[in-house]
Structure 1
């Protein structure tokens, strides 16, 4: 069983899912791009002794969208994570992040190392960057693409089942069960069909990203133990290998599985075992 609740931050409602023992060790979980808190359902079932607290990041799941015209910069999520910890009166927690959520977790832990006891990162370590000398061209390209994307309109799915099939066959495929978990929280039903709850603006390219030296500065400040689990069929080691040496206490593991390996039975069981062992150490 899970518990769902919301809290308000700067006039926006942010949605949360919780599982496990309310008196257990708190672990705050941050999902990937266009996913939602339900993506941690399987790990929660494997970690009943843990108080797993998963946040729907802004614009995702049941959380409010950011105001129209306001970009979704990855660093803006840090204030929302901070607000969640303050709402729960948690001075120090372990963070669990998948993909984009791993990048958010690393940035938060680099900014506030005193508030993070451990980091568990799944198929992702740091946010994507723009090389500093390429920023002007990247910015111009992103602004041009965003003008075109603003004219797009969402087309609904005819049925929930059609949406499940589409999610199962997406760029990063998931099982039918996992698609059901994600879509039960990620879709809304209207008179003419099923629509994504997530903000269409999330699909627009970033006008600005951090550059490599800035990302490196955050990674060097990760003074807590860091477990990085990479999927053999995920984003690829090339994405992270040059950053590994920047993290003082990083342990790297690789598992057979796809990008959403935490939603696959065998790798999820290993991940849960490693998390449990490290929380009890």
Structure 2
């Protein structure tokens, strides 16, 4: 069982799914792009002794969208995580992140290493980067694409099942059970059909991205233990290989499975086992 609740930051509501022992070690979970907090359901069921708090990041799930015209920069998610940690009145936390959420967790831990006791990252380590010399072209292309995308409107699905089929066959395919879990929180029903809850602006390309040297500066500050679980059929080790030597406390595991391997039964069992082993005997996070 889980409970859902919300908190407010600057007039925006951010939604939370919470599982487990209210007195257990708090672990904040951060989902991937266009997913939502429900993506941690399988892990939560296998970790009943911790307090797992999964955040719907802005524009996703049941959280409010950012104001119209405001881009979705990854560092704004870092600010929202800081607000969440403060809302929980915790001095130090453990972070669990998948894909984009792993990048947010890494940036948060690099900015506030004294507030993060451990990182658990699933098929992701850092945000997408852009070489400094390519930024002018990146900006121009993103602004032009963004202008075109802003004129698009969402088209509804005729049924929940039709949306599930679309999610199963998306860029990163998932099982029917996984798609249903995500869409129970990721769809809204209106008179003419089923719509994605996620903000269409999330699909607009980034106008600005950090460069490799800036990201490396964050990684150098990760002095806490880091468990990185990569998927054999996921985003690819090539994305992270050059960064692995920058973190003294990194432990790398590679599992069979796709990008959403934490939503695959066998992989979720293994990941939860590794997390549980590393949390055994861990002191609970201290209130601020």
Report what 1:13 is aligned to: 13
Q: Does residue 251 of structure 1 match 2:257?
A: no
Which residue of structure 2 aligns with residue 273 of structure 1?
273
Cα displacement (A) at 1:170: 1.0
Give me the whole-angstrom Cα distance separating, in 2, the residues matched to 1:90 and 1:42: 25
**How far did residue 184 of structure 1 move?**
0.4
How far apart, CA to CA, are the structure 2 residues paired with 1:279 and 1:91? 18
C-alpha distance in structure 1 between counterparts of 2:73 and 2:59, whole Å:
11
TM-score normalised to structure 1 length = 0.99
The Cα of 1:91 is off from its aligned counterpart by 1.1
CA shift for structure 1 position 171: 1.2
Deviation at 1:51, TM superposition (A): 0.5
**SS of residue paired to 1:180:** helix
Moved over 3 A (4+): none
Partner Cα distance (1:3, 1:88) in 2: 15
Match of 1:134 in 2: 134
> What's the secondary structure of 1:255's corresponding residue?
strand
Partner SS for 1:75? helix
- Higher deviation after alignment, 166-175 or 121-130: 166-175
Partner of 2:262: 262
Which residue pairs with 2:178 in the alignment?
A: 178
Query: Which sections of structure 2, spanning at least 5 residues, go unmatched?
Result: 282-288
Structure-2 separation of matches of 1:167 and 1:147? 26
Alignment partner, residue 237 of structure 1: 237
Taking the aligned partners of 1:180 and 1:80, their CA distance within structure 2 comes to: 27
**Cα distance per residue 1:79-116 (max 9 Å; x no partner):** 11111111111111110000000000000000001111
Matched, 1:95 2:95: yes
Query: Any idea what SS the aligned residue of 2:28 has?
Result: strand
State the 1:277 CA deviation.
0.6
CA distance in 2, matches of 1:49, 1:36: 22
Unmatched 5+ residue regions in structure 1? none
The residue number in structure 1 matching 2:214 is: 214
Residue 165 of structure 1 corresponds to 165
Q: TM-score of the superposition, structure 2-length normalised? A: 0.97
In the other structure, the counterpart of 2:118 is: 118
Q: CA deviation at 1:11?
A: 0.6
RMSD: 0.6
Please name the residue that 2:225 is paired with.
Answer: 225
Aligned to 1:201: 201
Match of 2:81 in 1: 81
